[in-house]
Structure 1
């Protein structure tokens, strides 16, 4: 919800973070930040206008030359300090995530830990920025290559992972010598501000990491500002396509990760108890608000009745409620999200799916009027139903029934998304064939959520990714740097004088 002026003076205003200090918004536009477990408005967020966005980019641009020329040794020390601080205070960040997103504390802590992996990866960036050298490529001529930062990096992050997704990008961007403007989701802005203050405590120079709060106005300003050199985005496919097309049209390097419809194939030889456990974990964790959530289970052969029964039993045992309590699953992020998910369940029922477990009727352990939908299991779903064709982004698991492996593979490969998939089987040959034939970027073998570790790269195929470069890992380093090749001839040797001290990095 966006209000043109501030009308509620009982809640705090959340500010931007520019050049190492909080900056009060001047646009006069605000949006409400809520606790989704209670429905309570906890803060108002100042939304940037185009001038405020330009000023934030200018601060990052001003900080870039000095940070670019800071030695790798000094940069790395700051990265290590940030890592130590984050490790010591990870619980604080998890609580912030739970309060604004709604996911249970254990899930929020897991999000922070996965983001921490990328910070640790970035601590070793000196090795990944090494170039190559050839002596005497021609007589008296040497050739060497280097990788250099590009400048201001814009990061536009989604609501579902307010810490982990930004950490896919900014540790590498900063370690490589770039400066950053982070535009967090207006639904969950506090984590970004908390991270900015942690960077300051770690010794990061002012202007290297900035936070710009806003909506489409701020996004468009970042996509068109000539001083922004790279844009990293995660969100729905329509917006990812818009970000990619707009950013590249304005000369930027863009990686835009879009939506998903992730399938989990269960073959007749699979351990059905394991498959049921993992289907519930992957389908209902974080209330299904994950781009890697399993939303379509493809049961092959005559196992469907047994598998659906096992999943239903487990789903009914889950406790839904306030993420700060002993619950398994929290609320959806907004009232609009709750209404949308309920609408999809109703549409599935109308179109002929069987509602095996109905999250609309779930018992909720929470106070107030939170945005809850319990675990929902739909059976006999077909590929023409809206619960299958659309990305629901909620705790709805749809079961499709097919007769053969080939039919299951065809279902996945015909889908316009290609983010993540999984197969459950005890047949190594079938698994090997699947990983080769499936047209999806990230594949799990008896692993339902195949998010790679930080030193590999994250990203899908087809309408799940716009741009040529995936997040983090080696591809992430390449995204935030560009190569340069230097050819050198020296006619006379030089002499640097005597210094018997032990050489040191500085």
Structure 2
């Protein structure tokens, strides 16, 4: 059986804790590897080496850092198919979804190649007589990323590209469910010329997480995951003096107004709800059908579901793969039963689908007439379950979103530009799509939600990423009048 090690000091490092975790292929249910689970002592050693590397990397010129980022970007583009295959083998998502994940991560590497421009400060001459004031941005030192199972390549790339370009050393703790993508990235960084120790991978569970959160040499922690864990990461990290951005869960709503184009809205709902088996923090979980659009919209969504092909991610004809684990599959299936028992209309029941015998597969579920008091509405299910809530008016639909504890992403489908503009003005969510079901920002903006979807005040990647992984310093300077130093400039120097 394959053994997945750590990556410390620029090379693979076997675990010494004596603890390992299983890694499965979700499409077959077979264990394919075991991953080392780091002890607190192993984390401390890795951080010590990263701290030493950070000192030298901070001194590297911006052009040197940009050169490494350009090389890394080229390697990632050339070997994207290999990385996507690794993602599919351990997460289970279909290859097209995995390739899309790699492509979105690649965008962040491209953004980070502009670090000479992104690190520019500001300058004010003659703020007072003979006094200049200017600002500079400097790296933090050693920073850490704790990333989820559902995007084992993209989310680390959200963090590490910006952090490293800004001059930090980066320590990654990936999900122990699908850790191989992190080791693949480590090898690319080394090939790109990144000095040893600037990129580190420590595999592990809560022990490794807590060791990072309490290590005095870690200056900042970036996290993506569920809301309860995000809250824990934020509270523990900040209590130990760290800068923390912790992105939590979501319950994303897609509002469909009566004037919307039905086929376009139905296509969007299906792709956004069931893509990657619904294991996406930006997945549409709730369609809010306003007025008389409900019946034709539900019919249009239901008509598309039998055409979805569910199978192994390596099958090019598959459109949806398995869930990450048997336990998670069973949890999602239980929500279907609870929705039915709670009074929702089961239009399509994923438990009754014809599925591969092996692996952690579940079919797609569509629940109509869902109400806000049902737990299928209130809870983040994180699976291929789409709820339809019927609202009579735009105001009622808006209130559903704004009253929800989450505020990650939302969307509206309409042909009315005035309604769309009013929606983006009114809605309490961090990312808004207009006739776009999954409004993930491009790399030169920033990703993040509001309310219980974000702990901290800084969003992920883009301009906010630069802000998070650097700190600003303001310099106020006064120099002696050149005339007093004996230097003859050939003209009056009194200022």
Question: Under a length normalisation based on structure 1, what TM-score does the superposition of the two structures give?
Answer: 0.94
Q: Runs of 5+ in structure 1 lacking a partner?
A: 1-10, 496-506
Q: Is the 8 A contact 1:271 1:426 kept in 2?
A: yes
Asked whether 1:403 is paired with 2:392, we answer yes
| Distance in 2 between residues matched to 1:447 and 1:416, nearest whole Å | 22
Q: For residue 136 of structure 1, report the CA deviation from its aligned partner.
A: 2.3
Once the two structures are superposed, residues 195-224 of structure 1 have per-residue CA deviations (whole angstroms, 9 ceiling, x without a partner) of 000000000000000000000000000001
- Which of 314, 319, 323 does residue 313 from structure 2 map onto? 323
**DSSP-derived class of the 1:239 partner:** helix
Q: 1:481: how far off?
A: 0.4
1:87 paired with 2:77, answer yes
User: Could you tell me how far 1:139 is from its partner in structure 2?
Assistant: 2.3
1:204-251 CA distance string (max 9 Å, x none): 000000000000000000001000000000000000000000000000
2:52 partner SS: helix
Cα distance in 2 between the residues matched to 1:167 and 1:338:
27
Partner of 2:489: none
1:207 paired with 2:208, answer: no
Indicate the residue corresponding to 1:40 in structure 2: 30
Q: Does 1:346 pair with 2:337? A: yes
Counterpart Cα distance in 2 of 1:363 and 1:309: 21
Within the candidate set 417, 420, 432, 1:431 is matched to 420
1:21 CA drift (Å) = 0.6
Name the SS for the 2:234 alignment partner.
Answer: helix
2:446 aligned with 1:449, yes or no? no
Name which of 348, 358, 366 aligns with 1:357: 348
Matched with 1:5 is none
Partner of 1:96: 86
- Structure 1 counterpart of 2:463: 474
Name 1:458's counterpart in structure 2: 447
The one of 372, 380, 387 aligned to 1:391: 380
Aligned residues of 1:378 and 1:397 also touching (Cα < 8 A)? yes
SS at match of 2:366: strand
Gaps of 5+ in 2: 487-495
The number of aligned residues is 483
Residues 1:126 and 2:113 are matched in the alignment = no
SS at structure 2 position matched to 1:423: strand
Deviations 1:362-416 (A, max 9, x none): 122x4x6200111110111111111101000000000001111111001111000
- C-alpha deviation, 1:491, in angstroms: 2.2
Using the size of structure 2 for normalisation, the TM-score is 0.96
**CA deviation after TM superposition for structure 1 residue 492, in Å:** 6.6
Q: Distance between the aligned counterparts of 1:381 and 1:372, measured in 2? A: 24
> Contact 1:39 / 1:369 at 8 angstroms: preserved in 2?
yes
Q: Tell me the distance in 1 between the aligned counterparts of 2:393 and 2:275.
A: 29
- Counterpart of 1:72 in structure 2 is 62
Distance 1:255 1:167 in 2: 15
Moved over 6 A (4+): none
CA contact (8 A) 1:95 1:105 kept: yes
- Are 1:251 and 2:241 an aligned pair? yes
Assess if the C-alpha contact under 8 Å between 1:316 and 1:357 holds in 2.
no
**1:44-443 pair list within 5 angstroms:** 44-325=34-315, 326-364=317-355, 366=356, 369-443=358-432
Q: Distance in 2 between matches of 1:423 and 1:115?
A: 26
Shift of 1:488: 1.7
Specify which of 459, 476, 479 is matched with residue 490 of structure 1. Answer: 479
| d(CA) in 1 for partners of 2:377, 2:48 | 44
The structural deviation recorded for 1:361 is: 1.5
Instruction: Verify the 8 A CA contact 1:418 1:461 in the aligned structure 2.
Output: yes
